Structure 1
């Protein structure tokens, strides 16, 4: 039998600590609450799961198996802005974490075993609060007994009040107002802000300190060294990759693009700062990041082209796009994207991708800092000077590629795609220089203006490249339509529009490059 699909809920709540002797307030005095719609008592028991190095807990994620109450089952809670997303699955196998939940945190957990780390038993009085149009929130009076299952863990008892919005109000302005007013009301009634973010955190207590750190948190470098600045930037991209991976699985908007950006930025940093970090492992890591970005790129290109096709169709006033062409233009790219997204999921589930994540963590835990005569020379320089030298090399590469654009782009004796590739090379150089400038800025170098100028250039040339990619897909669709015996006039018309949009994207290109040059001159070691 196929595993059931998880159910997703948005959890918006506030938890407050309260003494055992504190009396219950009149909850109908809460703004927006007209009556008590029901009261129930539950005896809840939850076993929380995590890796031995508490990867979920450190990521503010909880995974529990709970019995008792109306929502028996497996529950996973993940951060989502100021709220949390709760994912639930039934207790088909109480001894086995459902694969659908494990997939949500695969990039964090990897192949590590998930085992019990705490048990939380709770005698709960649950009160349904209703307004004029029905239930608005659940108020819970919890009497908790918890055991930390970590080495040195202890038994703990406490009481807390919790108020959680119903699904209808969660994420709404009305619901946010109710939560704020309820928090103030309950504090006035004798509660206080809790010093712990969750029942699990309270249950684990100081025993958390006995757990080993995950690999990526184990490294330690001199904060003033060039390597520390580079590793800090790499660490940010590592966290971004791990954060975007489950969103790509869920096919959230822009998630494929953001995961691809993170993998490419990490690869670019490794290439740009070669000489600060070194070793054969860096080359292998760059190749693996390139592979991942390539798989993501197929779906991203389909996504971009689909958006551009929709815009072209919506803005067409000619009336010359026939129904057959419109159907293929609107539908074929969606099928391309769905196929490419399936390939991404296969990649994310692969041992190869897990090995890539492990390799990144190993690098952060023990950075391969350059050794030898060259590094000794750099050790004598200030960190900012070392990073400036790498920025300078990146800027020179951009400038040389820009010169080739001036030399070849308007040479109509060359094939169109060859001329366009020169422009694309400038974009890639601008992207690398931007990533390097951000890393240098984090280390204290005044490179913020350079990063912004490179971002503008990268964006401008990105619009140009999107037009090129879209044009190529239109040509492919036209060839397929011709093979089916269909009229291809509409495709030619759209091709010409994208050609014009590409030229429009390049308007002011020289001025944008000039801004990069001015910004680089302002950077001083």
Structure 2
């Protein structure tokens, strides 16, 4: 059984029973009707008891009749809807089971919850295949007469008529041909149709009965002016991002490994930076689990990045100094490494341990363990009690500060950590008495500090409205240039290992050395703006601090007048 993904780009229209179908050949690019076919379709829609898929705008159905019998799952996409098909399979004891490869696409959402029928949609469909002058199928028009049943509490039977026009696979990949959809929309509305307000037949079928089902989690109501609300907002956004990239990683979509890793690292960074606002063993558990997941994703990401770098290196090296054997290994080995690492990632995403971590993240977001609930923990873990923060806070305890001041306190802590690491880089970077590997570790640590400060600045800016954009942008530039440097370091380490293995086999290793030196140069080039960007970070933080102090003085004066 295999899945088949493709992009669905369509428009839907609500139509009265008495309206006639207009001349479809008047649609732009349509020359003639290639084929007309009628089908009787029946689809059973599945979801969890608390409608996790429906709430995420994902539909899962088992359809019979027509040309695409089987299981269909549809995901929202910027360009349309991504649809994946799987074969119908054989029923077990008279019941059709959702195929495992389909279920895995939504495992991060459904976890261990069973998928059961929530609605049935029956459809008498007439399909018109639209072709251009070269007789290429470019779109499909469907006239649907639908009867639907909601199985939810309070569900009813509903009937309606609708038109759909969907671009063919080839047409959907060419955004210039969206003119066809615009032309069709004008034609249908002119004929008396109305643009459909329901994005899917399922939502129309469920109707008001969807309101009779409550979400699984009841969220704790937080004071929106509290520091905890801002932290939970940042954590929620990255939790959602991690879950949304899970199926993309499984499908091995471009850049999905990287984006899922970013969400994982941001989550961990927020937990670390805002420790003291959130407290308890659950925080430390999640930090460790997220660290392991990020590390696993990092192996796959490194292989992906290094493979691309190696191909670029070979393209740039036009001499005959690299023999065919070296070229073959450099060109092909990392692709195998990536495929192996990707399989390991998918295996982990299918594991109970990963699902446990997602459950813990949900619990954290909906029922956050706050320091205000545990005075003892707050006193022990508050960054306001450390000597490192004493000059910033003075005689104030953190619970006497405003939400804005509390979050800035944590931001300042992340900044001071970055400055210490920057000073270490400055002191050792050109000191050749220190081993190269040790100096490069200091740069790698600086990158992690810049990343944490950036994530903290973004979270504080989103939660408080403070202007942290310049600071986060400067940290992003630092993260980028040190990321390029680290990619060169990683590539060098792999080339060195390859050279050692080749030497043991008695093979020529000169080509590896040549590429190693190229990457050494690339790494040094990546660092040329380091000092400037470090100064940009310092100035951005200084300006933020200065503006914040001015704001506090202004508020104090206003308070005094009152």
SS in 1 for 2:319: coil
Match of 1:186 in 2: 188
TM-fit CA distance, 1:82: 2.7
Out of 391, 414, 421, the residue aligned to residue 394 of structure 1 is 414
Residue 416 (structure 2) pairs with residue 416 (structure 1): no
Match of 1:504 in 2: 525
Residue 442 (structure 2) pairs with residue 425 (structure 1): no
Checking the alignment, whether the CA contact within 8 Å between 1:49 and 1:64 is kept in structure 2 is yes
1:291-306 counterparts in 2 under 5 A?
Answer: 291-306=292-307
Out of 48, 52, 57, the residue aligned to residue 51 of structure 1 is 48
Checking the alignment, whether the CA contact within 8 Å between 1:165 and 1:175 is kept in structure 2 is no
Checking the alignment, whether the CA contact within 8 Å between 2:2 and 2:87 is kept in structure 1 is no
Residue 291 (structure 2) pairs with residue 290 (structure 1): yes
Out of 434, 457, 472, the residue aligned to residue 451 of structure 1 is 472
Provide, for residues 352-401 of structure 1, a one-character-per-residue CA deviation record: whole Å limited to 9, x for no partner.
Answer: 11111111111111011112265794443222111111111111110011
Match of 2:71 in 1: 74
Checking the alignment, whether the CA contact within 8 Å between 2:15 and 2:163 is kept in structure 1 is yes
TM-score by length of 1: 0.96
Out of 463, 482, 486, the residue aligned to residue 484 of structure 2 is 463
Unmatched 5+ stretches in structure 2: 383-395, 549-562
CA distance in 1, matches of 2:74, 2:529: 48
CA distance in 2, matches of 1:138, 1:167: 11
CA distance in 2, matches of 1:191, 1:379: 60
SS in 2 for 1:419: helix
Match of 2:175 in 1: 173
CA distance in 1, matches of 2:64, 2:78: 28
1:365-404 counterparts in 2 under 5 A?
Answer: 365-371=366-372, 372=375, 374=379, 377-404=397-424
Checking the alignment, whether the CA contact within 8 Å between 1:240 and 1:262 is kept in structure 2 is yes
CA distance in 2, matches of 1:308, 1:34: 47
Match of 1:155 in 2: 157
CA distance in 1, matches of 2:334, 2:4: 29
TM-fit CA distance, 1:58: 1.2
TM-score by length of 2: 0.90
1:81-120 counterparts in 2 under 5 A?
Answer: 81-94=78-91, 95-120=96-121
SS in 2 for 1:502: helix
Out of 490, 494, 505, the residue aligned to residue 484 of structure 1 is 505
CA distance in 2, matches of 1:207, 1:117: 10
CA distance in 1, matches of 2:238, 2:250: 18
Match of 2:25 in 1: 28
Checking the alignment, whether the CA contact within 8 Å between 1:263 and 1:289 is kept in structure 2 is yes
1:218-297 counterparts in 2 under 5 A?
Answer: 218-297=219-298
SS in 2 for 1:169: helix
CA distance in 2, matches of 1:9, 1:230: 37
TM-fit CA distance, 1:184: 1.2
Match of 1:332 in 2: 333
Out of 15, 37, 53, the residue aligned to residue 18 of structure 1 is 15
Residues 265-274 or 488-497, more deviating: 488-497
TM-fit CA distance, 1:246: 1.2
SS in 2 for 1:233: helix
TM-fit CA distance, 1:39: 2.3
Match of 1:475 in 2: 496
Match of 2:344 in 1: 343
Match of 1:442 in 2: 462
Checking the alignment, whether the CA contact within 8 Å between 2:34 and 2:129 is kept in structure 1 is yes
- The 3 A distance-change label for structure 1 pair 227 and 36 is same
Checking the alignment, whether the CA contact within 8 Å between 2:37 and 2:128 is kept in structure 1 is yes
Residues 478-487 or 412-421, more deviating: 412-421
- The 3 A distance-change label for structure 1 pair 268 and 174 is closer
CA distance in 2, matches of 1:377, 1:156: 61
CA distance in 2, matches of 1:256, 1:65: 30
Checking the alignment, whether the CA contact within 8 Å between 2:118 and 2:151 is kept in structure 1 is yes
Out of 538, 541, 544, the residue aligned to residue 520 of structure 1 is 541
Match of 2:166 in 1: 164
Checking the alignment, whether the CA contact within 8 Å between 2:63 and 2:71 is kept in structure 1 is yes
Aligned residues: 521
CA distance in 2, matches of 1:195, 1:11: 18
CA distance in 2, matches of 1:457, 1:478: 31
Match of 1:131 in 2: 132
CA distance in 2, matches of 1:491, 1:322: 10
Give the aligned CA root-mean-square deviation in angstroms.
1.5
Residue 35 (structure 2) pairs with residue 38 (structure 1): yes
